[in-house]
Structure 1
Amino acid sequence: MITVEHLAKAVGEDKLPVLRDISFQLEPGELVVLLGASGSGKSTLLRCLALREKWDKGNFRVDGVNVRGNMFTGRRKIRREWAYLEQNAELNPNRTALKNVLIGQSSQTPLWRMVTGMVRSDDYMGAMDELDLLGLLDKAKMKTSQLSGGERQRVAIARALVHGAKVILADEPVTGLDPKTAESVLETLRKLCKETGLTVVTVLPLELAERYATRLWVLEDGKIKHDVKGRRLTSQERIHL
C-alpha cells in the first residue's frame, strides 16, 4: 500500500506551485498512467515519489513506513525496492547492456559485485531472459553507448525487473520505440502487474494509456483532476489534455 496525502511542491525563487494537494492510495498490481498538458506536473510528481526532488509538504507512507518522517529508513526502502526510469536512461555507457542489467543500481547491488563484476549463472540467465523478452537479446554484448535511446530505455526496464523492483516509476518509457516494441514492453509490464503485484506509475501517450492502464490520472494545474479506472476517456475528461 502506497499512501500520499496533500503533496505540494513549488519551484524557483518565486515559489511557483507545480504540485498542489496531491492525495492518493495505490495497491499492488496497479498500472497507473499520468496524463496532462505540458507543465501539469507529471514528471515532477514522479521525481517526488522517487525522492529525487524534495517535497514542500505532504505525507508519504509505504507499507506502513512513514517515508518522510523517517528519511533514513524510508529512503533506503525506496532506493532498494523502487526503480525510477527517466526519459534518458541512467546507464553506464562503458558497460554492455547485459552488464548494466546485472550490476544494476548501487542501492540494489552488493559491493563485491560492483567491484568485481562477477555474477551467478542464475542471475546471468535471468538477465538474458529479460533482455530477450524486451527484444534486446542480440544487443546484450553491445555497450550501451552504441544503443539507440529506445534500446537504452528497454535496458533500464530489464534492469529494474531483474533486480526485483516492486514499484517502477517511468517517465515516458516507450518514447523512441517503434509501435510494435512499445506495445510489447507495455504488455510485459501489465502482465507483471497482474501476476506479480508489480506497481507501475508512468507517463504515456493517450492512445497507449487508454489501452494499457488499469487507472488513469489526469493532471491539471498540479492537481489530479480526474482519477478513473483504465478506459477510454470522455470528451470532457480530454479537455484537460
Structure 2
Amino acid sequence: MIKVEHLTKFIGIDKQPILHDVNIQFHKGEMITIVGGSGSGKSTLLRCLALRTKWDEGTFNVDGDDIFKRGISGKIKIKRQWAYLEQSPYFNLKRTALKNVLVGQSSQTPWWRMLTGMVRSDDYMGAMDVIESLGLLEKAHFKTSQLSGGERQRIAIARALVHGAQVILADEPVVGLDPKSIESVLELLRDLCKEERVTVLTVLPLELAERYGTRIIGLSNGKIVFDVKGRRLTHAEKNMI
C-alpha cells in the first residue's frame, strides 16, 4: 500500500500552496485517473510523487517504508521502481526503439550503459518479450524517430516495465494522439493494472478518466475535492473541478 499524508507544495516568494494537505492511499493494480482544471495541481502532484519536485510538507509511506526517513535509499527506491512518463517522453531518436528500451533512463541505468548502449543478451531477450507483448515487435529495430506518437508512448511504457517499474505516473500521456492511438495506450495501461498488478496514476481529460479509470481523483486549487471509485461522476462532482 502507498500512503501519502498532508502533502503540501508552495510556489513563489509569497509561498502560495499549489498543493494543500493532499491525502491519498492507493494499492497495487489500481488505475487512478486525475482530473481538474488548468492550475489545479495535477502535474505537480505527479512530479511530487515521482520525487522530481521537492515536498514542503507531508509524509510518504510505501509498503511500510517511510521514504523520507530512509533518506537517499528511500528516494532511490522510488526512482528505480516508479516510472514518470511525460507528455513527450525523451528518447535518443537516432537509436532504435529496442535500444532505447534497453538503455533506459539515468535513474534506472548504470552510467556506462547510458554512454555506450551496451547490453547483455538476457536483457535483450527480456526487452523483446516486453515489446512484443505491447504489440510493437515489428517496430523494435526501427529508429525511434520513425515511430508515431502512440508508438513512442508504448515504447516509453515498455522501457518502464523492462527496468522494473511497479508504479507508472503518466502526465497526460495521450495529448496530441489520434483516437486509435489514444485507445491503444490507455487500454495498454488498463491491462497492465489488471494483469501485471502495476499501479497507474495518470492525468486525463474527464471523458477518458471516466472511461478508463478504476478510480477518479478530482483536484481544485491544489486540494482533493472528490475521490470516486467504480462509477462515473455526478453533475455536482463535475462542477467541483
- What TM-score, normalized to structure 1? 0.91
| Contact 2:5/2:21 (<8 A) preserved | yes
Aligned equivalent of 1:4 = 4
Separation of aligned partners in 2, 1:165 and 1:3? 18
Distance 1:12 1:147, change over 3 A: farther
Partner of 2:203: 203
Q: Which residue does 1:64 correspond to in 2? A: 64
**CA contact 1:134–1:184 (8 Å) conserved in 2:** no
The CA deviation at 1:133 is 4.3
| Residues 134 and 185, structure 1, Cα contact 8 Å, conserved in 2 | no
Alpha-carbon offset, residue 213 of structure 1: 0.8
- Structure 2: how far apart are the matches of 1:12 and 1:35? 24
Report the CA distance shift for 1:201/1:143 in structure 2 as closer, same or farther (over 3 A). Answer: same
Question: 1:238 corresponds to which residue?
Answer: 238
Q: Which amino acid aligns with 1:98?
A: L
Aligned counterparts of 2:8 and 2:238: Cα–Cα separation in 1: 24
Structure 1: give runs of 5+ residues left out of the alignment. none
TM superposition shift of 1:76: 0.7
Tell me the distance in 2 between the aligned counterparts of 1:12 and 1:227: 28
The reply on whether 1:45 has 2:45 as its aligned counterpart is: yes
Kept in 2: contact 1:5–1:23 (CA 8 A): yes
Secondary structure at the aligned position of 1:107 is classed as: coil
Measured after TM superposition, the shift of residue 98 of structure 1 is 1.2
C-alpha distance after superposition, 1:96-141 (max 9, x if no partner): 2111111112332345544543334443343334334445444333
Instruction: State the AA in 2 paired with 1:3.
Output: K
Equivalent residues in 2 for 1:133-212, closer than 5 Å = 133-212=133-212
SS at match of 2:176: coil
CA distance in 1, matches of 2:13, 2:148: 37
Aligned partner of residue 58 in structure 2, secondary structure: strand
Q: Is the 8 A contact 1:210 1:230 kept in 2?
A: no
Superposed CA deviations along residues 183-213 of structure 1, whole A, max 9, x for unmatched, are 2222222222122221111111222211111
State how far apart, in whole Å, the 2-side matches of 1:83 and 1:63 are. 17
Q: How far has the Cα of 1:14 moved from its partner?
A: 2.2
Identity of aligned residues (%): 68
CA contact (8 A) 1:212 1:230 kept: no
Secondary structure of the equivalent of 1:77? helix
Cα RMSD for the two superposed structures: 2.0
Q: Within 5 A, what are the aligned runs for 1:79-94?
A: 79-94=79-94
SS of 2:32's partner is strand
CA–CA separation in structure 1 for the residues paired with 2:187 and 2:170 = 15
Instruction: Quote the residue 2:16 is aligned against.
Output: 16
1:214 Cα deviation after fit: 1.0
- 1: CA distance between counterparts of 2:156 and 2:238? 31
2: CA distance, partners of 1:126 / 1:181: 25
2:150–2:182 CA contact under 8 A, matched in 1: no
For residues 218 and 167 of structure 1, what CA distance do their matches in structure 2 show? 20
Per the alignment, in what secondary structure is the counterpart of residue 106 of structure 1?
coil
Q: Please say if residues 211 and 231 of structure 1, whose CA atoms lie closer than 8 Å, have aligned partners that are also in contact.
A: no
Query: What SS does structure 1 have at the residue aligned with 2:210?
Result: helix
Note closer, same or farther for the CA distance 1:136–1:123 as it changes in structure 2 (3 Å cut).
same
| Counterpart Cα distance in 1 of 2:126 and 2:185 | 17
Q: Secondary structure at the match of 2:237?
A: helix
Unaligned runs of 5+ residues in structure 2 are none
- Aligned residue identity for 1:90: Y
Q: Match for 2:159: what amino acid?
A: R
Question: 1:148 Cα shift?
Answer: 4.3
The secondary structure found in structure 2 opposite 1:108 is coil
